[in-house]
Amino acid sequence: DTGVSQDPRHKITKRGQNVTFRCDPISEHNRLYWYRQTLGQGPEFLTYFQNEAQLEKSRLLSDRFSAERPKGSFSTLEIQRTEQGDSAMYLCASSSAGLFKDTQYFGPGTRLTVL
Amino acid sequence: EDQVTQSPEALRLQEGESSSLNCSYTVSGLRGLFWYRQDPGKGPEFLFTLYSAGEEKEKERLKATLTKKESFLHITAPKPEDSATYLCAVQAVGGSNYKLTFGKGTLLTVNP
């Protein structure tokens, strides 16, 4: 078990471009979360999947953001028409209900810089 | 709305100087309280989960405790490698979302 992985680790883009990030959760984890973290702040919840179903989206997630988790495995987060305010660390976490009551394990994050 | 407040924002200790970090929370019903460690440029690393008041967990030089309103992370005889940001988060009962609500963290620096 290699933990949660995210790709790319860093992304620099120009304002107005589209970007897509990928998250591979711990195998057999059925819950997957996306969070966003800016400097000096704790992570903020963006969206949540149970298996392939997207069950909740934060008010922070504007129409420019979309997330998918086909077949309940990896997930992608796409940001369309990026803005400078989108610059942040995007974190993915996964968990499995049961014995450990949904402890979330985080990936290394994708650092997005919008110029 | 769930809220988490961590104090102090930053703490500087000498190696071996024990101290505590505080996490105050407001939540409709607590499913769990989580402590994470985060190094610069990396994702949060899980430390502890606490579920009910009075519960305590220990790992090496760290000990986490929980009351109905707050949690403490006690650091005994810290070493420079304990330097990091420590994040506290709560998970509320109810609904189908198991999201975490985080505080801003405490930046701990341990000087040799």
* pLDDT tens track for B40-54: 999 999 999 999 999
pLDDT of residue B93: 86
pLDDT digits (tens, 9 = 90+) for A35-47: 999 999 999 999 9
Instruction: Tell me, yes or no, if A30 comes closer than 8 A to chain B by beta carbon.
Output: no
pLDDT of residue A59: 87
Task: List phi, psi (to 5°) of B85.
Answer: -95, 130
pLDDT of residue A96: 87
Question: Amino acid identity, residue B64?
Answer: A
**A101 Cα distance to chain centroid:** 21
Of A48, A34, A47, nearest to A88 by C-alpha is A34
Contact B99 A31 (CB under 8 A): no
pLDDT of residue A102: 79
pLDDT digits (tens, 9 = 90+) for A46-104: 999 999 999 989 988 889 999 999 988 999 999 999 999 999 999 999 998 765 567 99
Best mutation site among B25, B99, B101, B102 for testing chain A: the one with the most A CBs within 10 Å? B99
Across chain A, how many H-helices and E-strands are there? 0, 11
Q: Is the pLDDT of residue B96 over 80?
A: no
Contact B100 A41 (CB under 8 A): no
pLDDT of residue A12: 98
Compute how many other C-beta atoms are within 10 angstroms of the C-beta atom of residue A6. Answer: 21
Which positions in chain B touch A32 (Cβ < 8 Å)? none
Contact B34 A108 (CB under 8 A): no
Q: How far, in Å, CA of A76 to CA of A27, rounded?
A: 16
**Which has the minimum average pLDDT: A16-20, A48-52, A111-115?**
A48-52
pLDDT of residue B7: 97
pLDDT digits (tens, 9 = 90+) for B75-94: 999 999 999 999 999 998 87
Of A22, A26, A29, nearest to A4 by C-alpha is A26
